[in-house]
């Protein structure tokens, strides 16, 4: 080969390698080929890997592994409880920002983005609010003003520090509710009617024009979850489409991803289809609260535990693969990472084993499956994420 030709070929080769290695800087860090953490592997795809954070565990000096793993494995964090209304305003008119601010500071120190959770939800409301409504001392008109004030105060307090806000959470009923036909359920819809949803997005946008605004719900991983006329994913899709048509500033759909190995669940292609249908509306997507629990009984042996661990890992794999395949899926957040600190045993009777590390912080099969997905995924089916711009 002539020298000039060789130089040209070498230049192209160098340029190609440079392109492959030039990954978008995310969370202030560059991809490091020697680092196998989830957050670093996510940089290959510009995908943020996240966890919900239990502030008591983060602050427990007797449990240093918890804090260390939150910082080293994840590039985004969500407050498991401390940004909920009952935590922020336990007494009417007096805010307690301490724990939430501490998480935001931790995130900044660890180059992490913050998902804000949650603005309008029917659970974990302060007692003064629900009691006031129940005894008639807070009218529906006053309640609407209180929600407006809450959203404005909270979003303003954290302005510029939140990447994605869960503006409205779990607004849609399930087929097992009464009446079984899907409808807007819960405290806010009952008192304010379904228009509180559009209001909440508008109020959040007014308080922080840069945060991405999400609708967040469970059991919306795939379409076709039974009766097509009563399909929750379709209901949420129609809702989002309707909000967009009215110019409501919604930027994304968060699919919580609370799964159980005792259920049928979905395969990757079904989940990809749902995410892509949402992103075809111009919305970002995210998995926001992933955990995959199993039924457990006292004294279960490895012959019973192993299939559960495998099924759990397989479901994590389906959700992460689907997220990787949708270029608008911005983040994949687990709802706690260790079985030591999990909401599952306290919420679902005789269920557990839901997280990616065991109670002793040993990585489980699910953790390694997620790493494998992040390592082995690439073009043409997996391409870096497309950043989302907040809708005006
Ligand atoms: C849960 C927390 O994990 C628990 O600690 C708390 O007692 C109840 O709430 N969907 C959501 C989350 O959006 O906020 C919930 O978090 C889990 C279900």
Domains of the chain as residue ranges with CATH: 33-376 (3.20.20.80)
Confidence of residue 392 (pLDDT cuts 50, 70, 90): confident
Q: What is the mean pLDDT of residues 335-361?
A: 98
Confidence of residue 321 (pLDDT cuts 50, 70, 90): very high
Closest ligand 1 atom to 170 CA: 13
Pairing of strands 48-53, 76-79: parallel
Q: 78-115: per-residue pLDDT in tens?
A: 999 999 999 999 999 999 999 999 999 999 999 999 99
73, 170, 304, 351: the catalytic one is 170
The answer to whether residue 170 is catalytic is yes
Q: 133-188: per-residue pLDDT in tens?
A: 999 999 999 999 999 999 999 999 999 999 999 999 999 999 999 999 999 999 99
Overall pTM surpassing 0.85 (yes/no)? yes
Distance CA 85, CA 131 (A): 14
Residue among 230, 276, 225 nearest 253 (CA):
276
Q: What is the pLDDT of residue 69?
A: 99
Ligand 1 centroid to Cα of residue 89, in Å, is 17
289, 304, 351, 359: the catalytic one is 289
- Ligand 1 neighbour 81 (Cβ under 6 A): yes
Residue pair 252/217 in contact (Cβ under 8 Å)? The answer is no
DSSP 391: P
Ligand 1 centroid to Cα of residue 238, in Å, is 26
Taking all residues of the chain, what is their mean pLDDT, rounded to a whole number?
93
Cα angle 266, 373, 345; round to 5: 55
- Ligand 1 neighbour 343 (Cβ under 6 A): yes
Confidence of residue 25 (pLDDT cuts 50, 70, 90): very low
Residue pair 277/239 in contact (Cβ under 8 Å)? The answer is no
Distance CA 225, CA 389 (A): 31
């Amino acid at each position: 080969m002539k020298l000039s030709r060789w130089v040209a070929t070498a230049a192209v080769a160098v340029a190609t390698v440079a392109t492959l290695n030039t990954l978008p800087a995310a969370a202030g860090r560059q991809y490091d080929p020697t680092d196998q953490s989830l957050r670093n592997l996510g940089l290959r795809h510009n995908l943020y890997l996240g966890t919900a954070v239990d502030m008591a565990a983060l602050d427990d000096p007797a449990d240093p592994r918890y804090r260390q793993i939150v910082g080293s494995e994840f590039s985004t964090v969500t407050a498991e409880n401390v940004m909920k209304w009952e935590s922020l305003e336990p007494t009417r008119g007096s805010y307690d920002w301490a724990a939430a601010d501490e998480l935001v500071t931790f995130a900044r120190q660890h180059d992490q983005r913050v998902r804000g959770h949650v603005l309008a939800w029917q659970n974990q409301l302060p007692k003064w609010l629900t009691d006031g409504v129940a005894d008639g001392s807070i009218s529906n008109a006053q309640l609407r003003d209180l929600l407006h004030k809450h959203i404005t105060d909270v979003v303003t307090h954290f302005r510029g520090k939140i990447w994605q806000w869960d503006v409205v959470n779990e607004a849609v009923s399930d087929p097992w509710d009464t009446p079984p036909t899907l409808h807007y359920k819960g405290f806010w819809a009952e008192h304010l009617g379904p228009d509180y949803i559009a209001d909440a997005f508008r109020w959040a946008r007014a308080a922080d024009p840069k945060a991405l605004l999400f609708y967040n719900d469970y059991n919306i991983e795939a379409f076709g979850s039974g009766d097509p006329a009563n399909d929750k994913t379709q209901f949420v899709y129609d809702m989002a489409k309707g909000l967009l048509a009215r110019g409501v500033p919604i930027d994304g759909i968060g699919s919580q991803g609370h799964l159980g190995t005792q259920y049928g669940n979905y395969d990757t292609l079904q989940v990809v289809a749902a995410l892509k249908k949402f992103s075809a509306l111009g919305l970002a997507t995210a998995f926001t609260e992933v955990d995959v629990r199993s039924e457990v009984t006292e004294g279960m042996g490895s012959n019973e535990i192993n299939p559960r661990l495998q099924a759990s890992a397989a479901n994590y794999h389906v959700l992460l693969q689907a997220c990787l395949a949708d270029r608008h899926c911005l983040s994949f957040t687990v709802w706690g990472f260790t079985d030591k600190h999990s909401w599952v045993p306290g919420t679902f009777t005789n269920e557990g084993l839901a997280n990616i590390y065991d109670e002793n912080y040993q990585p489980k099969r699910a953790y390694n499956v997620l790493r494998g997905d992040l390592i082995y995924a690439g073009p043409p089916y997996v391409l870096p994420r497309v950043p989302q711009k907040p809708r005006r």
